[in-house]
Amino acid sequence: MIRRCSSRALLLLAALALPPAAQAQAYQCRAPAIRSVPAIAPDGPRLEMPLTGYTLALSWSPEFCRPREGQRGHRFQCSGERGTFGLVVHGLWPQGARGRWPQWCASGPKPTPAEIRAQMCVMPSARLAARQWAKHGSCMARRPATYFRVTRILFGGLRIPDYDRISGEDGLTAGRIRDAFAQANRGWSPADVGVKLNERGWLEEIRLCYDGDFRPSRCDARRFGAGNAASARIWRGL
């Protein structure tokens, strides 16, 4: 059976992973009122196993929103009415041995509307936040509040490069995207930064690889994604 970390242990590990000069994100965001939490049903088998590390998946919001701007279900993230987003948290995923992902572990307490609202400025979808807890968070923490707080600690300690400016560079590659992140964040090497491009070569996601103590760790091939020489583009939402 899997052993989930205590709330205190998880929070301590996440806090210790931050560099001394951690810098919070600077984009503007006003979280909406949350009156109810979406119900989430498993869409795959329950997989419990010992944890070997973690992945913090960061979605590039302008690319995500490009085909969804007018959709009501994505209004908070994509309309611009309550702030604009660059990189946002897709999820914090526990990692198992041999590249496997624990998922849909023993059910615990469901998130409260207040817990979901506190997450909205880093994970701007109530359904996404509820799903990430049910599918992934339940395999690493006993309470959703702990899982959400760990994601905010990790995300808040990152320095995000100016990818809007980098998007205009000639000959942009996946290697340049990961190099920029590593240069902005002490303790990270390009090998620790995964870059996921969509089928058209646009930046879709950055995946940050951690060991079991939330220290940067070399990504395996599955998480590393596009090779350094792969041509890349970054949509700015213009």
172-219: pLDDT as tens digits: 999 999 999 999 999 999 999 999 999 999 999 999 999 999 999 999
Contact 94, 41 (CB under 8 A): no
Radius of gyration of the chain (CA): 17
pLDDT at residue 7 in the model = 61
pLDDT at residue 24 in the model = 43
Average pLDDT of the residues of the chain: 89
Confidence of residue 63 (pLDDT cuts 50, 70, 90): very high
Task: State the Cα–Cα distance between residues 88 and 14, nearest whole angstrom.
Answer: 18
Residue 226 is classified by DSSP as S
38, pLDDT greater than 90 = yes
Task: State the Cα–Cα distance between residues 86 and 25, nearest whole angstrom.
Answer: 10
pLDDT at residue 113 in the model = 97
Task: State the Cα–Cα distance between residues 87 and 164, nearest whole angstrom.
Answer: 11
pTM for the structure as a whole: 0.90
41, pLDDT greater than 90 = yes
Report percent pLDDT > 90 for the chain: 74
Contact 138, 90 (CB under 8 A): no
pLDDT at residue 122 in the model = 94
Q: What number of CA atoms fall less than 13 Å from residue 203's CA on the CB side?
A: 30
pLDDT at residue 22 in the model = 45
pLDDT at residue 81 in the model = 78
Confidence of residue 26 (pLDDT cuts 50, 70, 90): very low
Q: Where are the beta strands (DSSP E) in the chain?
A: 53-60, 87-95, 193-197, 203-211
| Tokens, residue 65 | 């929103």
CA 147 from chain centre, in angstroms, equals 12
